[in-house]
Amino acid sequence: MIVGIPREIKTDESRVAMTPFGVEELTHAGHRVLVQSGAGEGSGISDQDYERAGAELIPEAATVWQQAEMIVKVKEPLPMEWPHLRAGQVLFTYFHFAADEHLTKAVMQSGAIAIAYETIRDAKGTLPLLTPMSEVAGRMSIQEGAKYLERPFQGRGILLGGVPGVAPANVVVLGGGIVGANAAKVAAGLGARVSLLDVNLDRLRYLDDVMPRNVQTLYSDRHTILDCISRADLVVGAVLIPGARAPRLVRRDDLKRMPPRSVIIDVAIDQGGCIETSRPTTHSEPIYIIDDVIHYCVTNMPGAVGRTSTYALTNVTIPYALQLANHGWERAMQRNPGLAEGLNIASGKIVNKAVAATFGYEAA
């Protein structure tokens, strides 16, 4: 198979979808890998590194898209990439369709085969291709939150850990999955008082066992959310219903209860965000303020730490890319039902039930 790795074009995205190790694995298995020149730059991987691994360097994105039978990417195709999509071509990347109806329609119209990293499952039922980026974003959410709580960044001037004689910050984490657990762990490590909310009681029991004593686990109902945010210096949005649009747990009216210049980091923005007032932002312009509450809603948080993130991501994607290249997408999915969960759109039809329900379609 011919596999194409275009350079990522999303604003401030420094990841690349394949490392030289991945190229080696594919070429040793008899596949051709076309890498767009400069694709690895943001992650500190040179064209020569790719060439040594057996890749063919291609200057133009259009040629990579044209020649490849499977495109492996990091982020969803952007509008300027849509004209490249074509029937039967496999696209293997993050899509987050539920947050973007235009993208959904463009991919349907193209007839391409969209296999979304974020809905592939492993034998334990977890989301192995989302996990590493959620680990990065969860840890980063506290780093970013701490920064925007500083006065020069417009925050309320609060140090997460406090100091002897002065109370630490209150951090509220909505969703206790991978993002939430990583956020809670880092916030607790810095000395903050952390409230970690989820609707899955088994998950809360587990978190209660493993988290330090300054993390309190709470059932996520409306009353508890309102109570927590009224004291919150920092709120992290980390809920997920795989494939679906994120539930809106904090409404516009609720912002009035939050302390002035408190900070929301809505990590779940890639699925539409779990705060009513969230809208996508970029690393270049990460925040905006509504009702005196700072909103940070960057859709590609791991893109800021490209080197760490590229390696963390490709550690998990390469085995699946190999299965797709070795067997073709249909046979690979017959052999691996967890990979089949990644099929979101095929030949013009939405296959993923949660994505179809978001836009009022019947899943094929």
Residue in 60, 9, 69 with CA at minimum distance from that of residue 36: 60
Q: What are phi and psi of 28, to 5 degrees?
A: -65, -30
Site for ligand NAI contains 341 (CB under 6 A)? no
307 is in an annotated binding site: no
Q: Which residue is nearest to ligand NAI (CB)?
A: 177
Is the CB of 248 or the CB of 327 nearer to ligand NAI?
248
Residue type, 244: A
Question: CA gyration radius for the chain?
Answer: 21
Contact indicator for 274, 175 with CB cutoff of 8 Å = yes
Answer yes or no: 96 catalytic.
yes
- CA torsion sign, 147 to 148 to 151 to 155? negative
Contact indicator for 350, 104 with CB cutoff of 8 Å = yes
179 is in an annotated binding site: no
Site for ligand NAI contains 134 (CB under 6 A)? yes
Q: How far is the CB of 206 from ligand NAI (least distance, A)?
A: 10
> Of the ranges 53-61, 160-168, 244-252, 316-324, which one interacts with ligand NAI (CB under 6 A)?
244-252
d(CA 274, CA 288): 16
Site for ligand NAI contains 203 (CB under 6 A)? yes
Site for ligand NAI contains 244 (CB under 6 A)? no
Contact indicator for 211, 197 with CB cutoff of 8 Å = no
345 is in an annotated binding site: no
- The partner in contact with residue 306, picked from ligand NAI, ligand CC(=O)C(=O)O, none with C-beta cut-offs of 5 to 8 angstroms by kind, is none
- The partner in contact with residue 178, picked from ligand CC(=O)C(=O)O, ligand NAI, none with C-beta cut-offs of 5 to 8 angstroms by kind, is ligand NAI
Catalytic residue among 233, 254, 266, 270: 270
Is the CB of 22 or the CB of 180 nearer to ligand NAI?
180
- The partner in contact with residue 20, picked from ligand NAI, ligand CC(=O)C(=O)O, none with C-beta cut-offs of 5 to 8 angstroms by kind, is none
Interface residues toward ligand CC(=O)C(=O)O, by CB under 6 A: 94, 96, 130, 133, 270, 300, 302
d(CA 333, CA 360): 26
E strand or H helix that includes residue 337: helix 337-340
Residue in 273, 291, 301 with CA at minimum distance from that of residue 174: 273
- The partner in contact with residue 203, picked from ligand CC(=O)C(=O)O, ligand NAI, none with C-beta cut-offs of 5 to 8 angstroms by kind, is ligand NAI
239 is in an annotated binding site: yes
Contact indicator for 250, 274 with CB cutoff of 8 Å = yes
> Of the ranges 63-71, 226-234, 267-275, 309-317, which one interacts with ligand NAI (CB under 6 A)?
267-275
Residue type, 137: A
Token reading at 96? 């987050």
Q: Which residue is nearest to ligand CC(=O)C(=O)O (CB)?
A: 133
Residue 170 Cα distances to 142, 187, 324, angstroms: 12, 9, 46
Q: How far is the CB of 96 from ligand CC(=O)C(=O)O (least distance, A)?
A: 6
Question: To the nearest 5 percent, what fractions of the chain are helix, strand and coil?
Answer: 40, 20, 40
Q: Which residues are catalytic?
A: 96, 270
Pick out the residues of the known binding site for Mg(2+).
327
Pick out the residues of the known binding site.
15, 75, 134, 198, 203, 220, 239-240, 267-270, 279, 298-301, 327
